[in-house]
Amino acid sequence: MRMLKIALIAVLIVLIAASPVAAITLTDLPPGQDLYDENIKILKYANGDFRGISYMIKSTGATSGIRYRTSAVTVDINGVIATVDISHLVGKATAGKTNASIIAITTEDIIASVGEQYRSQVENMNPEEIQIGAHIQIYNKGTGQVLENITSQDQVYDKASKWGFGSQDITDMKTRFLQDYTSGPVIIEEEHEYGYGVRPSILVK
């Protein structure tokens, strides 16, 4: 079962690579299946060049007017820190249902954040230390007012529970923060002339 799960995830990651836009992606996994994996995957081209990383988050669809959204994702690889704004993107989540999704961040995403002067450093990375983060906003859907900002995992419980979020929502939020690199498989992909990924949707509570 575990091998089937790993194989399915690997296939999905490769399918993400078939899109012609070089950008961060978010891909929902099939609902109703326990496919969540906390490991960070290293993505490389067939020639061994660093292509990016992927990781999973979990999200549960909103059932009330106080919700949360991910306005940006952050990644720190070997001390190179990138923040990718995704506040203009909105995703789909079925009310009350929890599912896993894959986020893939490419070298082009990182370079766009840190600047062209770091292109060679980023493209030639051998990732050893990785931290994943997010900027989460708790907001009122009816008024649009942002009620709280969360930028670290240790803020999640206090700020989320203050606004009535339960244990499942708090667990989901925490999947957006991976503090240490967890050794996961290296996904080797064939060389392509096109870029990587499509514009993502945000999983919204």
End-to-end CA gap in the chain: 30
In the chain, where are the structural domains located? Answer: 2-189
pLDDT surpassing 90 at residue 193: no
Q: Output the pLDDT for position 11.
A: 45
**pLDDT grade, residue 203 (50/70/90)?**
very low
| 98 DSSP β-pair partners | 60
**Percentage of the chain modeled with pLDDT above 90:** 39
> 73, 84 in Cβ contact below 8 A?
yes
- Angle, vertex CA 150, rays to CA 145 and CA 152, nearest 5: 170
pLDDT surpassing 60 at residue 155: yes
pLDDT surpassing 80 at residue 31: no
**pLDDT grade, residue 188 (50/70/90)?**
low
Say which residue, 7 or 61, is predicted with more confidence: 61
Q: Output the pLDDT for position 166.
A: 92
pTM of the model: 0.77
Tokens of 130: 């990785």
**pLDDT grade, residue 91 (50/70/90)?**
low
Residue range 159-174: mean pLDDT, rounded: 94
Report pLDDT digits (tens) over 43-73.
888 888 889 988 888 888 888 899 998 999 9
Query: How does strand 130-140 pair with strand 66-77?
Result: antiparallel
Tokens of 14: 């490769």
When mean pLDDT is compared across 85-89, 105-109, 173-177, 199-203, the lowest value belongs to 199-203
Report pLDDT digits (tens) over 95-149.
777 878 888 889 999 999 999 999 999 999 888 889 999 999 999 999 999 999 9
